[in-house]
Amino acid sequence: MIAVAISGGVDSAYAAWLLSRTHRVLLLHARLFPEDTSPRARSVAQALGLPLEIIDLREDFARRVICYFREAYLQGLTPNPCVICNREIKFGLLLEAARQLGAEKLATGHYARLRYDPATSHYLLYKARDLQKDQSYFLHQLPQEVLSQILFPLGDLSKEEILRETARIGLFPFTAPESREVCFVRGDYRELFRVVEAPEGEMVTVNGRVVGKHRGLFAYTVGQRRGLGLRLGKPYYVVALDPEHNRVIVGEKRHLLRRTLRVGRVNFLYPLDPERPFEAAVRLRYRHREAPARIEPLGGGIFRVIFERPQRAVAPGQFAVFYREDLVLGGGEILPEPAPFPSWISTP
């Protein structure tokens, strides 16, 4: 039996329909939010004629994802909740629930591809054929024991093909919206911090000149221009956050460029030697265009990424993912750089 995680939208529903043609399928819907999202899932189950189990993960989601999100911002980081949700919730607790219900594998509507490689005895993760929908970036933290238990039926399909097929077989319309990168926030993420007493602090330039006050580190992210409240005669951007001194570092656009960064908590999906340098194309955020770089071990599970050309707005807390063409080699969390900040700012 294959369990299929469904949201109530077109992608996961079509994945379930595809698998139901060749396997016995059980639908799973994870309830993550206070509002009840199960009616859409029940509509999908009824349309497909498949059994459905609702798995209540609201408390776990709040504790493992929302709390992580809040704490990261309070520490001056820019979190990526989708990466954590995939690792902890969808392919953690939901996969565990699927196995307890007797499923051999858990399938989802993610756009990515998995292949077992006999030469390395590893399950390898690849980009989806539809590069505009590819979600491999969000899946790079999954360990081998998880990759061996999951399926991505949509990896070789385009969104257009899926919409065309669902119309042909009369599955839809279903009206679940496309998932957002921060699914638990409707509007400005800062609403999550309304009751937080975050201390104000100084806003300083890369040269140390105090130019204003900030209203709490959580309200800022690297690369931000709007909402700084500065009138300095030219545009200024958030270059770095300094939680140790409770400062927001601002600079000109050129100060956003960085040639190097450090990553930790690295998960290798491809069996590379972690003690040897290697080269890869590195993506720094979901819509970032990959850039060629050399990755060097620093010891203690920390790696230095050195780009051929400086990259803009490197945000600690986000994830750097290593690719070799379509193959995901691995990736890890971007770490803050130690002060003084101008030592790593690229000013060509």
* Catalytic site positions: 85, 183
Tokens for 151, please give them: 């399926």
User: Which residues, in sequence order, are bridge partners of residue 282?
Assistant: 291, 322
Tell me how many degrees the CA angle 237-239-241 measures, rounded to the nearest 5. 120
Query: What does the block give as tokens for 137?
Result: 């970036």
CB under 8 Å to 336, separation ≥6 — which residues? 76, 77, 240, 241, 243, 316
C-alpha distances in angstroms, 58 versus 10, 70, 123, 185? Answer: 23, 16, 30, 15
Cα dihedral: 97, 100, 106, 110 (round 10): 0
- In angstroms, the CA 125 to CA 203 distance is 42
Alpha carbon 265 to chain centroid, angstroms: 14
Phi-psi domain of 195 (left: phi exceeds 0; alpha: psi -120 through 50; beta: other): alpha
Q: Other C-beta atoms within 10 Å of 243: how many?
A: 14
CB 161 within 8 A of CB 10: no
Q: Which 8-state DSSP code applies to residue 48?
A: H
Q: Which tokens sit at 348?
A: 């060509």
Tokens of 38: 């199960």
In angstroms, the CA 252 to CA 205 distance is 9
- Residue 96 tokens read as 């565990």
CA-to-CA distance for 107 and 152, rounded, in angstroms? Answer: 6
* Neighbour-count burial for 106-140, b at 16+ CB within 10 Å, e otherwise: bbbbbbbbbeeeeeeebbbbbbbbbeebbbbbbbb
Token code pair at residue 39: 């009616």
